[in-house]
């Protein structure tokens, strides 16, 4: 790993740091004599009331600052990245690795394989625990990094070594037990690969993880994602509708058992399973406190409940006749079609179409909206755009299609590029039930 360098990128006005004369470009060397490898250590070390901070100024001069402050009061410093010694990379060669299946031509950052326990604690990224060194375990236990998010996939040691392509991947139960002994909670996931870790292997894994409750707070079962770029890779097959239905039935039985034993459902199926099987997503109670929405667990239920609430509260504003095209992936299109029909019935003069966009970049088996590229949208919306242009039309896109901090698609096209190419206004809305309702009831240009 590179040497940790806590270089300051910004200093908040009127903060302690600003009063001390700390400026962007300065570097924290130590706090109370300890090095600062990341944002976690920075916050923990800075919590004390009495601090001695060693600063290396941008011109090379060294300052040793002694200060008193209230417990937990922040110094007011900002850094470019949460880890100051780089990103821990993945040491595995997973049979289902999505990055290995990605075509060329996307931005560089999408090809990075991270497996950094600090990002797991800070941002909920899933890690495998296979690249942890003794000092990493000490760090996790010292700072009590809880919860962590762990990709388990299977608790069978030999099978896990095979799936992860790593001879050191076997002792996952020992590792989880060590975390449990340290009082650290974990949220786990199983990427389900038919013929590998399903059937009896899935039952074993769910039972093993359930036995670690309350340290294990959730178990997500997520179908493997496959693209058309699997040439020369292990021959995996996707979870089909029938298999999805069978998994849902098993999940219901496991949940009933866990609720009786632990008072919590504990194991949850990805929304994709329910959409694949064509069965309604479960009610909110199924998801307990919704522990893994970022992993696609329960986000559809939240969307539907929010949609229903927003539909009751909102009333359409006066609007001239117009046409709206709602773009989405092929998986969610049937669900959205029903919702949009309810909206148009309440909005006289409004015509709307939901367009399921095939994924030409990753292949037709990738069906979620968040992995569509700008060029996919350009091709898939051409016909609907011509229809919408006839009557004051616009295109509505969910913001999940765009990078979180910059309005660009995976292929770096922008919504403005798409609007120019299609000759039609493009509006990006929050990927929420309320966002969908508002996009119809408060039309673009009428606010």
Q: Is the pLDDT of residue 278 over 70?
A: yes
pLDDT digits (tens, 9 = 90+) for 130-189: 999 999 999 999 999 999 999 999 999 999 999 999 999 999 999 999 999 999 999 999
In the predicted structure, residue 388 carries a pLDDT above the cut 80:
yes
In 193-264, beta strands by DSSP E: 216-223
Is it the case that residue 264 has pLDDT exceeding 90? yes
Give mean pLDDT, residues 51-62.
93
- Stretch 91-115: mean pLDDT, rounded? 83
- CA separation for the pair 85, 435 (Å, rounded): 39
| CATH no. of 314-441 | 3.40.50
Question: What is the pLDDT at residue 294?
Answer: 93
- pLDDT of residue 226 exceeding 80, the answer is yes
Q: What percent of the chain has pLDDT over 70?
A: 97
How far apart CA 327 and CA 388 sit, in angstroms, is: 13
Q: Which of 89-93, 209-213, 229-233, 320-324 has the highest mean pLDDT?
A: 209-213
User: How far apart are alpha carbons 109 and 127 in whole angstroms?
Assistant: 18
Burial class (CB in 10 A: 0-12, 13-18, 19+), 405: exposed
* pLDDT band, residue 304 (cuts 50/70/90): very high
Question: pLDDT tens, 29-53?
Answer: 999 999 999 999 999 999 999 999 9
CATH 3.80.30.10 in the chain is located at 99-297
Bridge partners of residue 52, in order along the sequence: 66
Regarding beta strands 267-269 and 216-223, do their DSSP bridges make them parallel or antiparallel, or are they unpaired? parallel
Running DSSP on this structure, what letter comes out for residue 28?
E
For the chain, give the mean pLDDT. Answer: 92
With a cut of 90, say whether residue 433 has pLDDT above it: yes
Residues of the chain with CATH 2.30.42.10: 6-79
User: Which of 58, 50, 59 is closest to 7 using CA atoms?
Assistant: 58
- Kindly indicate the confidence band of residue 1, based on its pLDDT and cuts at 50, 70 and 90: low
Is the pLDDT at 424 greater than 70? The verdict is yes
Query: CB-based burial of residue 446 (10 Å sphere; 0-12 exposed, 13-18 middle, 19+ buried)?
Result: exposed
Confidence at residue 444, expressed as pLDDT on a 0 to 100 scale: 59
Q: Which residue has the tokens 């039935």?
A: 249
Query: Rounded CA gap, 120 and 424, in Å?
Result: 41
User: What pLDDT is attached to residue 162?
Assistant: 97
Joined together, the tokens standing for residue 27 give 């570097």
Secondary structure (DSSP) of 392-424: T-EEEEEGGGS-SSSS--TTS--HHHHHHHHTS
What's the first-to-final CA gap in the chain, in angstroms? Answer: 52
How confident is the model at residue 447, as a pLDDT? Answer: 42
- CB count in 10 Å sphere of residue 436: 24
Q: How confident is the model at residue 319 (pLDDT cuts 50, 70, 90)?
A: low
Is 434 within 8 Å of 305 (Cβ atoms)?
A: no
Q: Give CATH 3.40.50 domain extents, the chain.
A: 314-441
Over residues 240-245, mean pLDDT? 96
Of 357, 366, 371, 432, whose CA–CA distance to 401 is shortest?
A: 371
Residue 216 to residue 187: CA distance in whole angstroms: 6
- Classified as helix, coil or strand, 197 is coil
pLDDT surpasses 90 at 321:
no
CATH of domain 6-79: 2.30.42.10
Residue 58: pLDDT band by 50, 70, 90 thresholds? confident
The CATH T-level fold of domain 99-297 is: pyruvate-formate lyase- activating enzyme (3.80.30)
Compute the distance between CA of residue 79 and CA of residue 81 in angstroms, rounded to an integer.
6
- Strand order of the β-sheet with 216-223 is 126-127, 148-151, 186-192, 216-223, 267-269
Q: How far is 339 from 323, CA to CA, in rounded Å?
A: 16
CA distance 276 to 80: 40
What pTM did the predictor assign? 0.91
């Amino acid at each position: 790993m590179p040497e940790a360098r806590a270089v300051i990128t910004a200093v908040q006005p009127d903060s302690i740091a600003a009063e001390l004369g700390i400026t962007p470009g300065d570097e924290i060397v130590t706090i109370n004599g300890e090095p600062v490898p990341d944002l976690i250590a920075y916050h923990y070390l800075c919590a004390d009331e009495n601090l001695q901070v060693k600063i290396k100024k941008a011109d090379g001069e060294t300052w040793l600052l002694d200060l008193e402050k209230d417990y937990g009061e922040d110094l007011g410093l900002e850094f470019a990245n949460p880890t100051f010694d780089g990103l821990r990379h993945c040491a595995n060669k997973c049979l289902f690795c999505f990055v290995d299946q990605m075509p060329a031509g996307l931005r560089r950052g999408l090809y990075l394989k991270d497996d950094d326990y600090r990002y797991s604690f800070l941002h909920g990224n899933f890690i495998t625990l296979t690249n942890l060194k003794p000092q990493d375990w000490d760090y996790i236990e010292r700072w009590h990094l809880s919860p962590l998010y762990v990709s388990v996939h299977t608790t069978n040691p030999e099978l896990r070594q095979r799936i992860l392509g790593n001879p050191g991947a076997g002792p996952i139960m020992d590792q989880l037990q060590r975390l449990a002994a340290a009082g650290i909670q974990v949220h786990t996931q199983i990427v389900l690969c038919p013929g590998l870790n399903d059937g009896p292997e899935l039952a074993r894994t769910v039972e093993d993880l359930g036995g670690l409750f309350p340290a294990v707070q959730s178990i997500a079962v997520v179908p493997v994602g496959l693209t058309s770029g699997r040439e020369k890779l292990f021959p995996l097959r996707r979870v089909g509708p029938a298999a999805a239905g069978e998994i849902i039935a098993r999940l219901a039985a496991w949940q009933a058992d866990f609720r009786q034993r632990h008072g919590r459902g504990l194991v949850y199926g990805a929304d994709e399973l329910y959409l694949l099987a064509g069965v309604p997503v479960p009610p909110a109670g199924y998801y307990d406190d919704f522990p893994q929405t970022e992993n696609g667990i329960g986000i559809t239920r939240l969307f539907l409940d929010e949609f229903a609430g927003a539909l009751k509260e909102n009333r359409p504003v006066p609007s001239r006749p117009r046409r709206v095209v709602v773009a989405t992936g092929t998986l969610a299109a049937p669900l959205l079609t029903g919702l949009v029909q309810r909206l148009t019935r309440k909005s006289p003069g409004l015509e709307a179409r939901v367009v399921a966009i095939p994924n030409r970049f990753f292949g037709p088996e990738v069906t979620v909206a968040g992995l569509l590229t700008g060029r996919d949208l350009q091709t898939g919306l051409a016909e609907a755009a011509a229809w919408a242009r006839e009557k004051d039309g616009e295109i509505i896109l969910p913001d999940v299609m765009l990078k979180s901090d910059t309005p660009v698609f995976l292929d770096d096209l922008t919504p403005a590029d798409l609007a120019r190419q299609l000759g039609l206004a493009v509006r990006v809305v929050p990927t929420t039930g309320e966002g969908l309702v508002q996009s119809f009831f408060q039309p673009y240009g009428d606010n």
